[in-house]
A and B are shown apart, each in its own frame.
Chain A
C-alpha cells in the first residue's frame, strides 16, 4: 500500500506539479490511516466466542468481515443470532452484538488481539453492573470474554 502511494506521488509531482500543494497533505493523511490499517490485526473470519454470563459461560460463533478498521458480521449462538459491528485499532478491538427481539439488548466487548486469540471485558450496553446486582447468583461474573479463531478461517 505504501509503495503504491509513493508511485502515485511521484507521478503527481512530475505531471501535475500545480496540484502538489493540494494533494500532498491529503495523501499524507491517507497514508497515515492506511498505515494504521496495515498495523492492525486482520480479524476477518470465524471465531469461537465465549463470555462469563450471570449463570455460566455463554458460547457462540462470530463470522466477521473487516474493511480497513471497521468490523461487521454476525453472531450465532444459543442466545440467537445478532448483528455484529465494531472496529480494530492496532491490537485494541471493540465489538457490539445487537440482539433484536421484543426486549432488545446489546453486549459490548472490548479487549486486545493476540494472534489467533482475543479477549477482555464486556458489559451490557448502558449498564453499570449488569449481572451482579441482581439478586442471588451462584457466583458473580467477572465480565471476561475470549475468542479463538477457528482453524483455517483466516481471510
Chain B
C-alpha cells in the first residue's frame, strides 16, 4: 500500500471511529445503532458538493441555449438580451430604479424612478496589477503554482493575468460606453475587458439584498406571487454598498461599485466555456437559489445546519450580543439609505422575533402579507447571525475570540455532520488551504486564503473541541485529490476552494473556479469505479449581489435570495437537461437525507420543508410554499438508463 493510500485509509478509519464516538457520546443513541450504517437508496454512494463564490444564474448562464426539447428561464429566453449580449426586445424587464429611504428601513422603498443610464460600474478593489507579494494575480508562475495547487493544469496561467490596470474605486473604463449603459443588464466582457479579467464585487449583505430584490405584496402577481422585482441593485450599491460600520457618511459618498451588479457573462459568445460544456453534457437547474439573503457566512451556515445560528453564551444558551454588533439598517438622519449600524465589523445580529428591532418590521410585515403568509421562523430572544463573523473556533480547536472580537460564539446546534455520524455515514469538509490556516489562524500570511467562515463545522463545538472529530471531518483539498485516486472517498464531501480560485469577483475570477472544478471532475472520471457511484453538485454560496431575473420564494426571515447556478455531474444526470423545480442550498441536504435515510437535522430546520408542487404552466413557483426540492428529479436512476450512461462514459 502506498503512503498516500495508507494515509487515506487511515483518515477513513478515523472518520468511522469518530462517527462511533459521536454516536456514543454526543447523541446518546444506543450502541447497536453504530453498527447499522445507512446504505444509499440510489446508485449514488458518494456526493461531492463544490461551492464557489458569488455569481447568480443569469450572471453565468444568462445567454445559455439549452439543447432542443429543453427550456431555460434566463436573460436570453426572456428577451432581455440578445445572443450577442445587446439589449433585447424586453430589455426593460431588467430596468433598474432609483428610490428614497430616509425613514425607517424598507425593503421596497418608494419614490422610485428609472435610471436612464445606470451609474457607471466601477473597479472597487479589483487588483490593479500583478504582484507576488499581494497575489492574485501573481507575477511568477512557479510561485503561483506553489501557492495554488487546486487548478486543472492548463488553468494555472490564469493565475498571472487579468489585473485591471486601473485604480480602485473609479469608473471601469474597460467597459465600452461605461457612462451610457442604459437602464439594465449589460455584458461584462468585451474586447477591452476579456473573460479572464478581474472586476468589481457588488455588495451582498443581508439587508442590502432584501432591498436589491425589492419584494412587495403590492407587486405580486399569479406568476410572481412573492412580488420581488429585482430592480434596486445599483441603488443599493451606490447608497450604502458594503456597509458603514456605524460611521457617518463621507462628505462625498462613493462606494466604489457603481452598477457592477448589472454585469453578466455571455456563454454563447465564449465566456465560461467549461461551465457551458458541463451544462450541455449534464443537468443544471434554472430555479436554484441562495438560501439566505446576504453573504458567504450566513449561506454556508444555512447549508450546514439547514438553519441560521443565533448568538449564545457559547454553551448552548441564547444570549444578547454587544450593542455594536446588532444590525441597524435604518438610514442615518438626513441620508438616503445610509445604514446606521452595518458592516463587516459593525452589526451583524438581528433578533427577528422582536418587531421593535431595527430592520425587522419591514421583512416580517412583508412575509405576513403574502398569500399564504410566511412564518419568519425566528425563535424568541434569538439574535441570528446575518452576515460574516468569524466562526467560534480556529483550526486547532481554540476559541477564535482569542484573535478577534468579531466571532460568533461556539454553537451546540445540530448540523448535517451530526446526522451523518449518527447514521454511520462518512463525511469530510475539504477546505483548500486548511493545512496552512491551522498554523496561521489570523491569515497573516498573504498566501493563506483559506475561508474560515465557509466551513460550517468550524462553528460547532462537538467537532472543534474533539481532535479526532476535527481530523476526521476537516481536511485540506490535497487529501481529496488523494482520495479520488485511491478510491477512499467519504460518502459526503463538501469542497471549498481557496480565495484564489473560488470565483469571487475582485479577489478571484470565474475561470479560476472553472479550473478548480475541472481538476476534481477530471480526477473523478479517471476512476471508473468512483465515477459510477458519485454525484458532483457544483454551486455557489450566493449570487454576490449580481442581478438575476428569476423568481424568489420567501421561505422565512432569512431568505431565499437570488438564483445561483447548480450543475449536477454524474452518470445519472446526463443529457443537457434543465430542471425547473424550486430549490436552494438545503435541497442538497434533502438529497443527502433521502439518499441515506436520514431524518431532518432538527425539528425546525429547513430540510423539513416538503418538495414543491407546481402547475404545468409555471414549474418555477411552488403552490405549496414554503417548499424546496430534494433534487432527486435531476437524476435518472432506472437500471437501463444507468447502465447506458455508465457505458457511455
Contacts and interface: CB of A to CB of B under 8 A. Distances in A.
Contacts, number: 120
Interface string A123-135: 0111111111111
Contact of A133 (B126, B295, B388, B407): B126
A126 B344 contact: no
A131 B295 CA distance: 18
Q: Which 9 A-B pairs have the closest CB atoms?
A: A56-B403, A127-B134, A54-B443, A139-B345, A56-B404, A53-B444, A126-B133, A133-B125, A55-B443
A55 B437 CA distance: 10
Interface stretch (A1-9, A101-109, A110-118): A101-109
Nearest to B129: A128
Contacts of A102: 146
Interface of A: 51, 53-58, 78-79, 99, 102-103, 105-107, 124-140
B296 interface: yes
B444 A79 contact: yes
B404 A128 contact: no
Contact of B507 (A53, A107, A134, A139): A134
B439 A55 contact: no
A138 B453 contact: yes
Nearest to B346: A139
Interface string B493-513: 000000100101011100000
B594 to A, nearest CB: 31
Nearest to A106: B133
Contacts of B449: 134-135
B388 A55 contact: no
B180 interface: no
Given A54-B444, A79-B445, A130 B134 contact: yes
Contact of B134 (A54, A124, A137): A124
Contact of A135 (B131, B400, B447, B451): B451
26 contacts: A51-B444, A53-B442, A53-B444, A55-B390, A55-B442, A55-B452, A56-B390, A56-B400, A56-B441, A57-B403, A58-B442, A58-B444, A78-B440, A79-B440, A79-B444, A126-B134, A127-B133, A127-B446, A129-B125, A130-B134, A131-B443, A133-B168, A135-B508, A136-B53, A137-B443, A139-B404
B331 interface: no
Contacts of A58: 442, 444
Interface in B501-531: 502, 504, 506-508
A55 B441 contact: yes
B41 interface: no
A54 B146 contact: no
A58 B400 CA distance: 12
Contacts of B133: 105-106, 124-127
B616 interface: no
B251 interface: no
Contact of B506 (A55, A106, A125, A133): A133
Interface in B427-459: 439-449, 451-454
A135 B53 contact: yes
B384 to A, nearest CB: 16
A139 B443 CA distance: 12
A105 B442 contact: no
Contact of A55 (B128, B132, B404, B508): B404
Contacts of A127: 131, 133-134, 446
